[in-house]
Structure 1
Amino acid sequence: MATLDLLLHPVRLRILRTLLDGRPATTAQLRERLPDIPPATMYRHVAALAAAGVLDVLGEKRIRGTVERTYRVCWDRAEIDPADRATMTTDDHRRTFTAFIGGLLADFDQYLACEPADPTADGVTYQQVALWLTDTEMAELLVEIRAAVTARMGRDPGPNTTRRMISLVAMPAE
């Protein structure tokens, strides 16, 4: 499992967010998607994620004397495991949630910056609901949501498809 410090580094977090759709990418492709990250910084952080097992090398090919690797996220290694999560302090949780929300804000800001942004036509939604659930029902709901999302991951872009970000936050509310 990955550590909190590994996953919450701003550059590594951006790399992982770029790979959220499950599609593999080379470091060169990641650099195209994240052009503001200097090449040496990109390579260093991709290497750190790969060394930790968060990124899996799918393939390698030689290009002009160097090796180009294709990576994908190993989702089971890209999450803090429940035992480690249980030891997180309140400040650790606050820092993690802040990073999550910061990523959402950056994604939404990037979407709005693309002209013409039309949230209604593009199916943008943000909503909150309150449900009365037992712990067992909540666990079942999360399994159902994960299954629904996982079944749609890894699809290739097509003529009638749009890359969409799906985010979920669940917490008790008194």
Structure 2
Amino acid sequence: MDETVELLLHPVRWQIVQQLAQSPLTPRQLGRLLPQVAQATLYRQVQVLVSADLVRVAGEEQVRGAVEKTYALAPLLASPQDTVEGRRRQAMLVFALLQSDVDAGLSTAVANEPLEGLTLTRTLLHMTDEERVMVQDRLAELFTPLLAPRPGTRPHVLGMVVAPQPTTD
């Protein structure tokens, strides 16, 4: 199994990554969001994620004579290494975060009642490289106005993977 996935299978590390996917946080803020996790465990697991290059120090600030660090997800999600392994690690993290988002949406659902707002689909598209770029540009144009919260809106997560498939020619 991939080392990244093994690291993320730890429940506390997974919870930390889920929280940091929302925004950068200090250990104190993480502790408030994860009150069931002992502070020492939280610090230890953050350090495991930092050592694995999944979490980075996003800032430091002097607080009452001590340095308080702010942690964020590593650039792996935003700008992965453009290698096969870098993209594989990015895909694993994206899939794991999407699964977390689906689980969060399902956590409020009532058994055997219609579920609204969750769409899961997989579609095979046939397009040239130029068409793929056009689709990406149009999606960016469509979604950019929806990135900032506005009155009357609520957050939704959109996950998409565009992966070229081998040809059978």
TM-score range, shorter-chain basis? 0.5 to 0.7
Which residue is 2:71 aligned to?
71
Structure ranking higher on relative contact order (CA contacts 8 Å, 6+ apart): 1
Which residue is 1:82 aligned to?
82
Query: Hey, what's the Cα distance between the residues in 1 that align with 2:151 and 2:124?
Result: 37
> CA 1:98–1:55 in 2, change beyond 3 Å: closer, same or farther?
closer
Which residue is 2:46 aligned to?
46
Which residue is 2:56 aligned to?
55
- 1:25-174 aligned at under 5 Å gives the runs 25-50=25-50, 52=53, 54-62=55-63, 66-75=66-75, 80-83=80-83, 85=85, 93=88, 100-114=94-108, 119-120=115-116, 123-139=117-133, 141-142=135-136, 145=139, 160-171=152-163, 172=165
In percent, how many aligned pairs have the same letter? 25
Q: Which has the larger radius of gyration?
A: 2
Give TM-score, length-normalised by structure 2: 0.60
Deviates more, 1:53-62 or 1:139-148: 139-148
Counterpart AA for 2:18: R
Listed as ranges, the gaps of 5+ residues in structure 2 are: none
Query: Hey, what's the Cα distance between the residues in 2 that align with 1:43 and 1:147?
Result: 40
Query: Hey, what's the Cα distance between the residues in 1 that align with 2:93 and 2:128?
Result: 29
| Residue-by-residue CA offset, 1:28-51 (whole Å, 9 max, x unaligned) | 222333445443232123234446
> CA 1:79–1:38 in 2, change beyond 3 Å: closer, same or farther?
farther
Give TM-score, length-normalised by structure 1: 0.58
Asked whether the 8 Å contact 2:5–2:92 carries over to 1, the reply is no
Count of paired positions: 159
